[in-house]
Amino acid sequence: MSAGIDLENVSCDFGTFRAVDHANVSIKPGEFFSFLGPSGCGKTTILRMVSGFIEPTQGVIRIGGKDMRGQRPNQRPTALIFQNLALFPLMSIWENIAFGLEVRGVDKATRRAKAEELLRLVDLPGAADKMVSQLSGGQKQRVAIARALAVEPQVMLLDEPLSALDLKLRQHMRAELRAIQKRTGVTFIYITHDQGEALAMSDRVGVMSHGRIQQIADPRDIYNNPVNGFVASFVGENNVFEGDLGAVSDGMATLSTPHGQFRARINAGVSGKGVKLYVRPEHTIISAAAPPENGVHGTVHEVSFEGAFIAVHAVSDSGMKMVAELRNDGSQVVPAIGDQVWMGFDAQRAAILPDADTKR
Partner 1 sequence: MHKLRQNLAHLYMAAFLIYLLIPLAVMAGAAFNDSRLPSIVPWKGTTGRWFVELAADERMWVAFRNTILVALAVAVLAVIVGTAAAILINSISGRMRSVIYGLMISTILIPGAVIGISTLLMWNKLGVPPGLHLSVLGQVSYIAAMVMLLVLARLQSFDAALEEAALDLGASHAQVMRRILLPHLYPAIGAGAAVAFFQSIENFNVTQFTRGGADTLTVYVFSKVRAGITPTINALAVIMIGITIVAAILYEVRRRRIERLMARGAEE
Q: Do residues 330 and 205 make contact, with C-beta atoms less than 8 angstroms apart?
A: no
**Residue in 49, 97, 102 with CA at minimum distance from that of residue 71:** 49
Give least dist CB 154 to partner 1, A.
Answer: 13
Closer residue to partner 1 in complex, CB, 103/113: 103
Closer residue to partner 1 in complex, CB, 24/134: 134
Regarding 51 and contact with partner 1 (CB under 8 A), the answer is yes
Task: In whole angstroms, give the CA distance from residue 128 to residue 94.
Answer: 5
H runs (alpha helix) in 69-136: 93-102, 108-121
Find the part of the chain contacting partner 1 (CB under 8 A) among 45-53, 111-119, 240-248, 333-341: 45-53
Regarding 158 and contact with partner 1 (CB under 8 A), the answer is no
Task: In whole angstroms, give the CA distance from residue 34 to residue 157.
Answer: 10
**Residue in 64, 30, 323 with CA at minimum distance from that of residue 183:** 30
Give least dist CB 166 to partner 1, A.
Answer: 19
Fill in the per-residue mask, 107 to 136: x = in contact with partner 1 (CB under 8 A), - = not in contact.
------------------------x-xx--
Give least dist CB 90 to partner 1, A.
Answer: 5
Closer residue to partner 1 in complex, CB, 157/356: 157
Find the part of the chain contacting partner 1 (CB under 8 A) among 38-46, 51-59, 205-213, 263-271: 51-59
Give least dist CB 227 to partner 1, A.
Answer: 33
**Residue in 174, 269, 282, 185 with CA at minimum distance from that of residue 229:** 269
**Cα-Cα-Cα-Cα dihedral sign, residues 162, 167, 171, 176:** negative
Task: In whole angstroms, give the CA distance from residue 300 to residue 137.
Answer: 43
Tell me phi and psi for residue 177, to 5 degrees: -60, -45
Residues facing residue 326 across a β-bridge:
310
Give least dist CB 139 to partner 1, A.
Answer: 12
Q: Do residues 149 and 112 make contact, with C-beta atoms less than 8 angstroms apart?
A: no
Question: 306: which residues sit within 8 A by CB, 6+ positions away?
Answer: 325
Pick the binder of partner 1 from 1, 103, 175, 288 (CB under 8 A).
103
Task: In whole angstroms, give the CA distance from residue 43 to residue 12.
Answer: 11
Task: In whole angstroms, give the CA distance from residue 191 to residue 243.
Answer: 35
Pick the binder of partner 1 from 1, 9, 24, 53 (CB under 8 A).
53
Give least dist CB 80 to partner 1, A.
Answer: 5
Fill in the per-residue mask, 63 to 92: x = in contact with partner 1 (CB under 8 A), - = not in contact.
---------xxxx--xxx-xxx-xxx-x--
Tell me phi and psi for residue 98, to 5 degrees: -90, 5
Closer residue to partner 1 in complex, CB, 104/321: 104
Give least dist CB 268 to partner 1, A.
Answer: 41
Give least dist CB 287 to partner 1, A.
Answer: 54
Closer residue to partner 1 in complex, CB, 75/271: 75
**Residue in 132, 122, 126, 124 with CA at minimum distance from that of residue 95:** 132
Give least dist CB 148 to partner 1, A.
Answer: 8
Task: In whole angstroms, give the CA distance from residue 341 to residue 211.
Answer: 42
Regarding 200 and contact with partner 1 (CB under 8 A), the answer is no
Contacts with partner 1 by CB under 8 A lie at: 51-53, 72-75, 78-80, 82-84, 86-88, 90, 99-100, 102-104, 131, 133-134, 147-148, 150-151
